[in-house]
A and B are shown apart, each in its own frame.
Chain A
């Protein structure tokens, strides 16, 4: 589906990403975890051509990424980045409908067809924004805006999702909803997702595979159970953690150990 082969991204003397390879297969959710500045977002951005690699190639559908047109890439890969900074009066519906840019079947006068509108409406419903359609984007809370960004990505009908800290501004309930949505998309309609996240536990819960990055390199890659170990996490984050199994799901549960003083606070 999508593959990064030995990607290196260099800015002047600094290597943001060094020799990282990644395979995205249908039905899989891959999380990329690591400290700030590890190159996670940069790597993600290289996967759809937003950032050009200095060395290495990205392959999409068995062809070089750069041999595809912009539009073709946008129809295959959708990005969910940090919530949008909207400076003009745009309604939620218009915003989500924007996701139909690449794949729209336009009517004679250049307007979106009924199908495009339906797709946008479905996406809005899926992200629990029904009723918000005519609200202005800059009237929404950060979390609501984030959901609108996800809705826009869903509206593109793309099969591959690249998500950069998608749960950063969401409350607990919506964090779960968003990841559950992605997870079910990947399970049901052979989509795939690559998620950059700081939330190691969410990664453990929802991904098939985890990549640990540090200083631009991939330190380890495998299933959550293989990767989220105390030893590896200490190596990458420099922090002592406790890893046990989540009592309900059985997924690895990472708890930082703060050795600041003995005994719990009263």
Chain B
């Protein structure tokens, strides 16, 4: 419900204000509305795709965050922490530098980067008892910091004109929305969230301990693989579209658990919706606060997310170890 309201409001506000009735009218597909042709163009060609993409990104990141937290039994798990975000970012940068001409290069390479980073983290974390959550987080931190350095290296080597736009993009930038990116993001969001929801029951048990989950009948190896793959897909799609938008995967699942409890059959879909709402709001702020200039959306999510998380921690309801 909130999502719908947010959606409508975001489509109205921006550097150029559109009338609410006109916008509602146009959105519901009526032919003759009070919007001018130029306003229609703004609404449908620029704003709507951007809002939809923001929603898709939010869905991807929040659902992936909820899945990582359950799988790794760590309420602090987040795509960034696990190297997946940075892997996707490196993939995207490689695509931009080498395959700049091909539009599909970005999402494909981002997904490739996300999968490669996940694979690397997995290999590093393999111990005698399999990849335990603790080892996965440790390996994730190692990989993410390594990839951060790689990103800095690449940006330094590039020419100065591209650095600023890259840095901006790395912090989360939704201004480069194209229809192909939007399509990819939506498909990835749908596939990823569905895959996660199908394994939600298993995740409920794995959240309580892999050994217990095994005893209760969960195929932990297979579930781990599917969840990791689905989460990588989600993060890859998100980073390819918009760079690194942080805190969504961390804070939104916590907020959702506060209202809905920890059953992943509820948490994952609810996080998907709440995440979409959160990022749409953040992006709307990002493009209106200092209009006509823009802030990176990742900066807004961090500015809102970090204090929110501290508040949750202090309340003691974040259920952190």
Is A120 positioned at the interface, with any CB of B under 8 Å from its CB?
no
Is B205 positioned at the interface, with any CB of A under 8 Å from its CB?
yes
Total residues of chain A contacting the partner, CB 8 A: 31
| CA distance in complex: A242, B214 (Å) | 41
For residues 15 through 31 of chain B, which have their beta carbon under 8 Å from a beta carbon of chain A? none
Q: A85-B209, A87-B73, A87-B319 are in contact. Are A74 and B261 (CB under 8 A)?
A: no
| CA distance in complex: A75, B262 (Å) | 24
Partner among B211, B212, B257 whose Cβ is within 8 Å of the Cβ of A89 = B257
Is A86 positioned at the interface, with any CB of B under 8 Å from its CB?
yes
CB distance from A80 to the nearest CB of B (A): 9
- Please name all residues of chain A whose beta carbon is closer than 8 Å to the beta carbon of B128 when the two chains form the complex: 11
CB distance from B310 to the nearest CB of A (A): 19
Q: A84-B208, A87-B319, A101-B201 are in contact. Are A50 and B75 (CB under 8 A)?
A: no
Determine whether the beta carbon of A90 is less than 8 Å from that of B216: no
| CA distance in complex: A84, B219 (Å) | 19
| CA distance in complex: A78, B217 (Å) | 10
Determine whether the beta carbon of B217 is less than 8 Å from that of A89: no
Determine whether the beta carbon of B215 is less than 8 Å from that of A89: no
Determine whether the beta carbon of B208 is less than 8 Å from that of A70: no
Which among A91-99, A182-190, A225-233 touches the partner chain? Answer: A91-99
CB distance from A163 to the nearest CB of B (A): 12
| CA distance in complex: A223, B143 (Å) | 56
Determine whether the beta carbon of A81 is less than 8 Å from that of B211: yes
- Please name all residues of chain B whose beta carbon is closer than 8 Å to the beta carbon of A90 when the two chains form the complex: 207-208, 261-262
| CA distance in complex: A50, B69 (Å) | 24
Is A71 positioned at the interface, with any CB of B under 8 Å from its CB?
yes
Determine whether the beta carbon of A73 is less than 8 Å from that of B262: no
| CA distance in complex: A102, B213 (Å) | 10
CB distance from A195 to the nearest CB of B (A): 16
For residues 145 through 192 of chain B, which have their beta carbon under 8 Å from a beta carbon of chain A? none
Determine whether the beta carbon of A102 is less than 8 Å from that of B217: yes
- Please name all residues of chain B whose beta carbon is closer than 8 Å to the beta carbon of A73 when the two chains form the complex: 217
Determine whether the beta carbon of B205 is less than 8 Å from that of A98: yes
Determine whether the beta carbon of A78 is less than 8 Å from that of B215: yes
Residue-by-residue, is B191-221 near A (CB-CB < 8 Å gives 1, otherwise 0)? 0000000001110110111011011111100
For residues 84 through 120 of chain A, which have their beta carbon under 8 Å from a beta carbon of chain B? 84-91, 94-95, 98-99, 101-102, 110-111
Partner among A81, A89, A102 whose Cβ is within 8 Å of the Cβ of B261 = A89
Determine whether the beta carbon of A74 is less than 8 Å from that of B216: yes
New A-B pairs, 10, CB < 8 Å, besides A94-B262, A94-B263: A70-B214, A73-B217, A78-B215, A84-B208, A90-B261, A98-B216, A101-B217, A101-B218, A152-B216, A156-B216
10 closest cross-chain pairs (CB), A and B: A74-B217, A102-B217, A79-B215, A71-B217, A88-B262, A101-B216, A89-B319, A70-B219, A90-B262, A70-B217
A–B complex contacts, Cβ < 8 Å, 5 sampled: A73-B217, A87-B207, A102-B216, A110-B201, A138-B319
